Homo-oligomer: A and B are copies of this chain.
Amino acid sequence: MLCRFVFTIFDENQLSMPSVSQKGLAMPESPIRKLAPFAEAAKKRGAKVIHLNIGQPDIKTPQIALDAVKNNTLEVLEYSRTEGSETYRKKLAAYYAKNSISVSAEDIIVTTGGSEALSFVLGSIADTGDEIIIPEPFYANYNGFATASGVKVVPVVSHIDTNFALPPIEAFEKLITQNTKAILICNPGNPTGYLYSKEELQKLAAIVKKYDLFLVADEVYREFTYEGKQHHSVLQEPAIEEHAIVIDSVSKRYSMCGARIGCLVTKNKAIIKTAIKFAQARLSPPTYAQIASEAALETPQSYFDEVKEEYEERRNLLIEELTKIEGVKVAKPQGAFYCIAELPINDADDFAQWLLEDFRLNGETVMVAPAAGFYATEGLGQNQIRIAYVLDKDHIKRAVNILKEALKSYIG
């Protein structure tokens, strides 16, 4: 009794401090980064940790981009324009033209990473309580931006057995309410690697037109498609010019995640006019990174050919090795550099933590991202992990071998 009383006093003392917001409490922790303390502890105890958990490629940034920053002659590191420098936006428009996407510099707002582009888009299209439909599993940080913007994510389930193809249109229609503002896709998909076909995009175009929704597409992995497959952009659908909004970023394209430069692209003038107000509040995107990003647009095609070949080889090796492990199911990615693997376990969170805390093979272990954080539906993805194939083939081979031995030991 005494003990209880003391605790009550303590709680009341706590209550006399200002408290964090409900929104702050509701903000999800990043499933990609939340295991970081366990990885650090493992490293401190001498283990080598192979990182399959995060999309930080080991690919070199194009020299032309690095050199542009090294050779800059700025004396005052000034704000850039709120919407990004005019020369950069003009060159971006030319980049899109080369990708058969017809937009002008005025249709583009340069942002601090794709993240900020998404945040501006959510603010521009949705109010508190409004809903965005997203095929799940989806990039976990969509949850964070939705929570920060007061927007409700409504998931529509896609399945590992169909490689995470677009769910049937009826599944979308069932979820549309008067609060639905948009459908958000990631194409090619993080974490699924799924590449939407032209037919699937046309189905989405029909539905957003029918219900007056926006179709927001995160296309930051546009270049990374395999087996000669073609990427299709929502901006190529002529019927939905006013509906289509693209989120883009230089992070993966040029292996320059630390630049923090992205953009939002839309032919919808009202959205540009609205998003620019969100952009004005934060003044401008980073100047050095814009110098690097503008120069990166001159990256020769040979760079992409090599990088794509490298990723495709990594993918092939990863999928081949994973499918050899008994009980492991894997969706073969057609783009980006992630895949979702289903493991013969019940709780991938526990398994991922156990890998870092308790399992070593020749002094090494693997860090993976538990997939539950990529789902909004409670209970889904609990036996799945996301693997980023951003490391060289030697590391991938060793990592999968570790997973194989670890599963034996963990299940046993």
Contact = CB atoms under 8 A, between A and B. Distances in A.
Nearest to A61: B77
**8 closest pairs, A vs B, by CB?**
A144-B281, A258-B287, A24-B274, A30-B280, A27-B277, A288-B288, A77-B256, A115-B282
Interface in A134-162: 141, 144-145, 148, 150
A113 B283 contact: yes
B77 A66 contact: yes
B256 A125 contact: no
A329 B115 CA distance: 44
A123 B21 CA distance: 7
Interface string A82-93: 100000000000
B79 A212 contact: no
Number of copies: 2
Interface string A25-64: 1011110010000000000000000000010111111000
A127 B23 contact: yes
Contacts of A258: 74, 77-80, 284, 286-288
Contacts of A33: 82, 280
Nearest to A296: B77
A28 B277 contact: yes
Interface stretch (A11-19, A169-177, A219-227): A11-19
Contacts of A29: 277, 280
Contact of A289 (B125, B282, B288): B288
Contact of A255 (B76, B126, B148): B76
A109 interface: no
A214 B268 CA distance: 40
A24 B77 contact: no
A72 B74 contact: no
A288 B79 contact: no
A69 B71 CA distance: 9
A242 interface: yes
Contacts of A274: 20-21, 24-25, 27
28 contacts: A18-B182, A18-B214, A18-B243, A19-B270, A21-B181, A23-B127, A23-B128, A24-B123, A24-B124, A24-B274, A30-B277, A61-B77, A66-B74, A66-B77, A69-B70, A69-B72, A69-B288, A77-B292, A79-B258, A119-B282, A128-B128, A258-B284, A259-B288, A260-B283, A260-B285, A286-B286, A286-B289, A288-B289
Contacts of A80: 258
A20 B281 contact: no
A92 B270 CA distance: 41
Interface string A201-215: 000000010001110
